[in-house]
């Protein structure tokens, strides 16, 4: 052990006086900076005790301190480059916001606002008023409100419309979304009683009709947004379900989940039911997510008959499920884009990605591949398949183009790990023992980050 070196270790104050550390301390606060300095000096001491001979000047300690800090000062919630090809990646935050929505959030975040204030009358306003008019005109419904997410929306709807009574649901629609939203459990939580009818693969109109009794409160249809039952199947359409419900003077609730406000075919979503169809089915109340196919912020939107929505606004649960001002700002701006028939396809990132043509995708992949090849990375442009994601349209594979890295200097797993360890992680997908970067889900500027990441990772091996 080198006693002389240990004696030479700098004092905390000495390191804090170094220019770079002083500048950083102004940003983080003195206490936080001192903790990093202590950590750095501790690391140097350990190295000496283990027989090492590190440089022990105050400058060296400052450098080490800043290295620790650079790691630790990264926000835990931070941007990543999504090169997975999954457009609505739930683990990567589902839908990225459109520029209009991001600007609206920034504007509202640092100022007071009209959240529950009506500047015209100077009186208290309602947070639900900001998007209700837009939703009503876009969806053609009488009334609408918005809560924290679609799970909350379904809970509130069931609590208001079913509680203490039975809701009839097909056994083919008892969905689980993302391991935490399960129709039977949410029903129980709401105080409603699940009345299952039919079988997993087949449910007939008579199954609903025969289940109606004096305890029945509503008929519920759930869009099986994250799975499909194939083969010998029969499902009662939303329209038929509404007809049956109304014949017995019962309300029909339709949990659509995915919430496409666009033309499904144009967005490459096949026959995915749209909001327009759900509203036209005659459902009394429709619920859907803000951050799935709508491409907005996390939110749960409830649209339908005024008589029901008015009761939901008064439900005590609403206070616990309420939407916050930043989300409302983003949602309002996103919905404004949808007032135009064309704008969403170019402005809403999720829709823009879904609508990309094969030619466009191939060109993007070719360009990225060439860039990497020029930097000495072996790769090529390949045709492949991505997914919509976010529990939407599960059986639909999106034909796409990817950059396949086939450079033997790193295994796909090792490359993937290094790309994920970057300050801005680059997340691709591994298929057939190759790492693929799907260009469909790259946002503006992401190509540069991805290209630099791959190049630097290979330069460092």
Ligand X SMILES: *Cc1c(COP(=O)(O)O)cnc(C)c1O
264 binding ligand X? (CB under 6 A) = no
Which residue do the tokens 């916001």 mark? 97
Residue 306's CB is within 10 A of a number of other CB atoms, namely 12
Take residue 356 and report the two structure tokens written for it.
């990309």
Integer Cα distance of 267 and 338 in angstroms: 14
Output phi, psi for 216, to 5 deg.
Answer: -70, 135
Spatial CB neighbours of 314, under 8 Å, sequence gap ≥ 6: none
Stretch near ligand X under the rule CB under 6 A, chosen from 147-155, 276-284, 363-371, 407-415: 147-155
Residues 36-75 contacting ligand X, CB under 6 A: none
Shortest distance in whole angstroms from residue 178 CB to ligand X: 6
Take residue 113 and report the two structure tokens written for it.
């606002």
Shortest distance in whole angstroms from residue 106 CB to ligand X: 24
Could you say which of 36, 128, 181, 458 contacts ligand X (CB under 6 A)? 181
Please answer whether residues 203 and 197 qualify as being in contact, where contact means their C-beta atoms are separated by less than 8 angstroms.
yes
Integer Cα distance of 389 and 64 in angstroms: 42
Q: Alpha carbon of 179 to those of 83, 201, 324, 390, 391: distances in Å?
A: 24, 22, 25, 12, 11
Q: What x-and-dash track marks residues 375-404 binding ligand X by CB under 6 A?
A: ----------------x-------------
Shortest distance in whole angstroms from residue 385 CB to ligand X: 22
H/E element, 434: strand 434-438
Stretch near ligand X under the rule CB under 6 A, chosen from 143-151, 263-271, 311-319, 365-373: 143-151
User: CB-wise, 233 or 358, nearer to ligand X?
Assistant: 233
User: CB-wise, 100 or 150, nearer to ligand X?
Assistant: 150
Stretch near ligand X under the rule CB under 6 A, chosen from 24-32, 150-158, 232-240, 449-457: 150-158
151 binding ligand X? (CB under 6 A) = yes
User: CB-wise, 65 or 175, nearer to ligand X?
Assistant: 175
User: CB-wise, 323 or 449, nearer to ligand X?
Assistant: 323
Could you say which of 159, 241, 258, 281 contacts ligand X (CB under 6 A)? 258
Could you say which of 223, 352, 364, 429 contacts ligand X (CB under 6 A)? 223
Residues 276-315 contacting ligand X, CB under 6 A: 289, 300
Take residue 233 and report the two structure tokens written for it.
């199947």
H/E element, 155: helix 150-161
Take residue 337 and report the two structure tokens written for it.
């884009």
Stretch near ligand X under the rule CB under 6 A, chosen from 102-110, 111-119, 220-228, 395-403: 220-228
Could you say which of 255, 272, 416, 438 contacts ligand X (CB under 6 A)? 255
Take residue 435 and report the two structure tokens written for it.
């790492």
Stretch near ligand X under the rule CB under 6 A, chosen from 31-39, 252-260, 271-279, 363-371: 252-260
Residues 347-376 contacting ligand X, CB under 6 A: none
Shortest distance in whole angstroms from residue 188 CB to ligand X: 15
Spatial CB neighbours of 182, under 8 Å, sequence gap ≥ 6: 174, 175, 176
Integer Cα distance of 285 and 145 in angstroms: 11
Q: What x-and-dash track marks residues 118-137 binding ligand X by CB under 6 A?
A: --------------------
Which residue do the tokens 């930043």 mark? 326
Output phi, psi for 273, to 5 deg.
Answer: -60, 140
Q: Judging by DSSP bridges, how do beta strands 193-197 and 181-182 pair with one another?
A: unpaired
Please answer whether residues 238 and 224 qualify as being in contact, where contact means their C-beta atoms are separated by less than 8 angstroms.
no
Give the closest residue to 158 by CA, choosing from 197, 125, 184. 184
CA dihedral (196, 202, 207, 211) in degrees, to 10, reads: 0
Could you say which of 100, 225, 387, 441 contacts ligand X (CB under 6 A)? 225
Stretch near ligand X under the rule CB under 6 A, chosen from 23-31, 219-227, 361-369, 451-459: 219-227
Stretch near ligand X under the rule CB under 6 A, chosen from 211-219, 222-230, 305-313, 377-385: 222-230
Binding site for ligand X (CB under 6 A): 149-151, 154, 175, 177, 181, 222-223, 225, 255, 257-258, 289, 300, 391
């Amino acid at each position: 052990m080198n006693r002389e070196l240990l004696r030479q270790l700098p004092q905390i104050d000495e390191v804090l006086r170094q220019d770079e550390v002083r500048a950083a301390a102004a940003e983080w606060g003195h206490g936080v900076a001192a903790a990093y300095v202590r950590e750095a000096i501790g690391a140097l001491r350990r190295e000496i005790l283990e027989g090492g001979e590190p440089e022990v000047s105050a400058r060296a300690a400052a450098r080490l301190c800043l290295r620790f800090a650079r790691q630790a000062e990264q926000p835990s919630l931070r941007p990543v480059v999504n090169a997975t090809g999954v457009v609505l990646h739930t683990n990567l935050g589902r839908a990225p916001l459109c520029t209009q929505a991001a600007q609206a959030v920034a504007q509202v975040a640092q100022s007071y606002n009209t959240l529950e204030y009506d500047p015209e009358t100077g009186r208290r306003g309602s947070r639900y008023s900001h998007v209700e008019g837009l939703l009503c005109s876009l969806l053609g419904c009488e009334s609408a409100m918005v809560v924290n997410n679609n799970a909350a929306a379904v809970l509130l709807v069931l609590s208001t419309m079913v509680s203490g009574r039975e809701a009839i649901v097909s056994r083919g629609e008892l969905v689980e979304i993302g391991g935490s939203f399960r129709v039977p459990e949410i029903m129980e939580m709401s105080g409603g009683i699940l009345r299952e009818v039919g079988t997993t693969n087949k449910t007939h109109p008579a199954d609903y009709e025969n289940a109606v009794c004096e305890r029945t409160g509503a008929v519920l249809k759930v869009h099986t947004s994250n799975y499909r039952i194939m083969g010998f199947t029969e499902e009662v359409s939303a329209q038929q379900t509404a007809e049956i419900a109304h014949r017995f003077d019962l309300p029909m609730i339709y949990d659509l989940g995915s919430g496409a406000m666009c033309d499904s075919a144009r967005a490459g979503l096949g026959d995915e039911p749209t909001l327009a169809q759900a509203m036209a089915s005659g459902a009394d109340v429709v619920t859907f997510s803000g951050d799935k196919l709508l491409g907005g912020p996390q939110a749960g939107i409830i649209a339908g008959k005024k008589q029901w929505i008015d009761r939901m606004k008064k439900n005590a649960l609403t206070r616990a499920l309420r939407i916050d001002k930043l989300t409302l700002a983003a949602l309002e701006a996103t919905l404004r884009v949808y007032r135009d028939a064309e704008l969403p396809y170019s402005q809403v990132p999720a829709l823009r990605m879904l609508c990309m043509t094969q030619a466009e995708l191939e060109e993007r992949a070719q360009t990225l591949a060439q860039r990497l090849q020029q930097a000495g990375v072996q790769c090529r442009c390949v045709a492949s398949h991505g997914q919509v994601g976010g529990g939407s349209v599960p059986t639909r594979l999106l034909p796409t183009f990817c950059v396949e890295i086939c450079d033997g200097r790193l295994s796909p797993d090792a490359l993937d790990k290094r790309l994920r360890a970057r300050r801005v992680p680059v997340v691709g997908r591994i298929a057939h023992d190759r790492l693929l970067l799907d260009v469909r889900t790259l946002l503006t500027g992401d190509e540069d980050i991805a290209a630099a990441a791959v190049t630097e990772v290979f330069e460092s091996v």
